[in-house]
Structure 1
């Protein structure tokens, strides 16, 4: 797996994997088809809730978002406060060329799906190949008015009253 290759190559330690809780999936998406009717709810249960669990006990976290990725990210700050936690966006002002140059200089492996036409990778049912000349994120939630899964919204995709999506 690409993840394991990076862990080994970079000598990463204390790598943790957080998945949706089985009980949450059984209650919210027992058939595994929620993505077909409510992508926001699907992202919430599969990404937002596990990330909230993963961040428990931490005062800060790091994001790989960049301003060039989308209009909604064009004014991205290097530092944000999200639910009382510092969110650091160290690559905010990097360009696509900067990313490629850094990867080449440091001999970082390209994700195998990039060569297959997936320059922006999300969940399997909500990510499609991108045609030459299309925006690199065009394959994310294709045909929908959706650009983010919810983990980068203020308050992690929850409504102001805390009720969730």
Structure 2
């Protein structure tokens, strides 16, 4: 058991020791039950691998809040996929987060900020809405995996981020594990996979993966950028 009076760092250490190598369902259930009952959310892009995390969550509790960062630039196929997964997995608490209208009118009236300052665009459309939504939460989970490479290659199962825990239930899965879950559970695929997209984000910043590239190389192509910012928050962030 985790000492609820322990520091966040100590909680993360204990949880990592006990949950490394555990199935995603076990990780989610452990956090929900022992650390954050009623104060736990799953953040999902409803991208090409999202069904694996959402299926694992649904097997634990389909009423856990699921947060989608709807930037206004999502592919229509992604929104359709969201609806399909909600029905298939019987998710009952999915909420879309949008950028603040006044903020958007001031900082991106022409809706071209993604080209001139992609970091500022992501901050306005993703980071700030998520910060607001996670206020009061004790922990949140996401679908990052070590095999995605880059900054993700060494992520722990549980880490400290500001005033809460961030949970990576799929961290240790490899591509074969993900594919096996899709096949054995007959999970629906994102429709853009058939078009050559292995990682799907916003329309202006997503392209098809080229032969020999890594999974996320189609994101922010040609930019000095590999993450949107929600996984790079400072110690006082969300």
Q: Look up the SS of the partner of 1:57 in the other structure.
A: coil
**Offset, 1:129:** 1.1
Q: Look up the SS of the partner of 1:17 in the other structure.
A: strand
Q: Are 2:88 and 1:9 aligned?
A: yes
Q: Which has the higher contact order (CA 8 A, sep 6+)?
A: 2
Aligned pairs, number: 158
Q: Are 2:165 and 1:86 aligned?
A: yes
**Larger helix percent:** 2
TM-score when scaled to structure 2? 0.64
Residues 83-138 of structure 1, C-alpha deviation per residue, up to 9 Å, x if partnerless? 11111101001001111111111111110111111101111101111122221211
Distance of 1:21 and 1:136 partners within structure 2: 31
Q: Unaligned regions of 5+ residues in structure 1, if any?
A: none
Equivalent of 1:70, from 129, 149, 156? 149
Distance of 1:18 and 1:125 partners within structure 2: 19
1:29 corresponds in structure 2 to 108
2:14 corresponds in structure 1 to none
Q: Unaligned regions of 5+ residues in structure 2, if any?
A: 1-79
Q: Are 2:221 and 1:142 aligned?
A: yes
**Offset, 1:36:** 0.7
Q: Are 2:207 and 1:128 aligned?
A: yes
TM-score when scaled to structure 1? 0.91
**Structure 1 ranges of 4+ moved more than 6 A:** none
1:58 corresponds in structure 2 to 137
Q: Look up the SS of the partner of 1:47 in the other structure.
A: helix
Distance of 1:19 and 1:149 partners within structure 2: 15
Q: Look up the SS of the partner of 1:87 in the other structure.
A: strand
Superposition RMSD in Å: 1.4
Q: Look up the SS of the partner of 1:138 in the other structure.
A: coil
1:113 corresponds in structure 2 to 192
2:45 corresponds in structure 1 to none
